[in-house]
Amino acid sequence: MSDITAIGTIDTLVNKRDKGLMSTQLKIKDILEIYSIDREVNRDLGYHRLPKLVKYLDSIDSSIGIFFPSIVLSFRGDPSSYYDMETSTLTIPSNQRLIVIDGQHRIKGIESFLTKSNIDTLKKENILNSYLTVQVYFGLSEEDEKKLFTDINTNAKRVSRSLVTNFDTRDIYNILVRELFHSSTSLQVAKVEFNKSRIVRPNNDTFITSVRLKRFINLIIFGKESPSQKNERQIKEQYDEIFSFLNKLFDTLFLVFPASPGNVLSSVLGHEPLQNAIALYIHEAIIIENENEVKWLETWEEEVEQLSNINWSVKNRDWHPYMMTGRKNSQYEYQSFIETSTLDLKDIIVKRLS
């Protein structure tokens, strides 16, 4: 193995000049060479999560490709001997290992996919030579690494977002939805309609409108479609952590959904009654009832990932009793859901996952 180079600026962390962070991109084959997992830092690997990731990787040749959130690594030791400030180049020696803070399941899922006996050679090369965004931390102690792992996976906060919400008189849900869309590659790939109140099916495969996304979020957090003044106040007071939670939730959710979830000719996921049913299921599965603050299970990802066990195809007969034909007797005919079927659809999800 030869040395690996990464291009990017090392920025010092706020009030911690002995610690730094670089954002860069590395080929998957290089990440597989340099990563190491420290069990003192990471939780045990959830092997039940790997088959879903392997299946997702198999869709790399689809029209929209695949998306993985960034991998977070820690460079232990002094990087000054390996970093060229003039060219902003970090040279990672062949014997250096970077500790995985966030992304161990993605990495292990990739390794599992690459060891499949029936994998196409060209697809394998495509994966290995694809780039992933990587964030590399410098100067962290083992305790810092453990804390960062916990922050990312439970209550990560976005710095300064609360300053915006405290002094912004606009609707807090409008702010939240736009911020999420601009931050979440998953939502961008799925597509959100901001300019129109409805999506004309079946030719438009946009997943959701911004108005419906607000309802979807409120159903997840509070279990109801319309927020009260108290709900809006709670969103403002906990904006940073709720934003980070939802950002990660959408990444997790779209990993378990099929590609192009808004395509109603193949999937039922683009319809509002089912989207609301999914939101209610998530609310009941992961949100902890609390009068004063919004709280969720630390293991919420595992609950959301259970949705990969549902067959979201329009051909799945579980859905048929609650479906109706849209634009009937035209070339644009498609199957949609009866508007009042949300609770029935949620019951189907619960039954299938119980």
Point out the least confidently predicted range of 175-189, 284-298, 312-326.
Answer: 175-189
Q: What is the pLDDT of residue 164?
A: 40
Q: What is the pLDDT of residue 171?
A: 78
For residue 306, give the nearest of 45, 47, 52, 44 by alpha carbon.
52
In the chain, what are the domain boundaries? 4-155, 161-353
Angle between helices 104-114 and 121-128 (to 10 degrees): 150
Q: What is the pLDDT of residue 2?
A: 84
Structure tokens at 41: 């830092």
More confident residue, 157 or 150: 150
CA neighbours closer than 13 Å in the CB half-sphere of residue 224: 7
**Does the pLDDT at position 14 exceed 80?**
no
For residue 28, give the nearest of 71, 59, 65, 82 by alpha carbon.
71
For residue 21, give the nearest of 31, 29, 13 by alpha carbon.
13
Average pLDDT over residues 137-165: 68
Q: What is the pLDDT of residue 62?
A: 64
Mean pLDDT in the chain? 88
For residue 316, give the nearest of 342, 335, 329, 339 by alpha carbon.
335
Q: What is the pLDDT of residue 275?
A: 98
Note the pTM of the prediction, 2 decimals.
0.59
**High-pLDDT (> 70) share of the chain, %:** 92
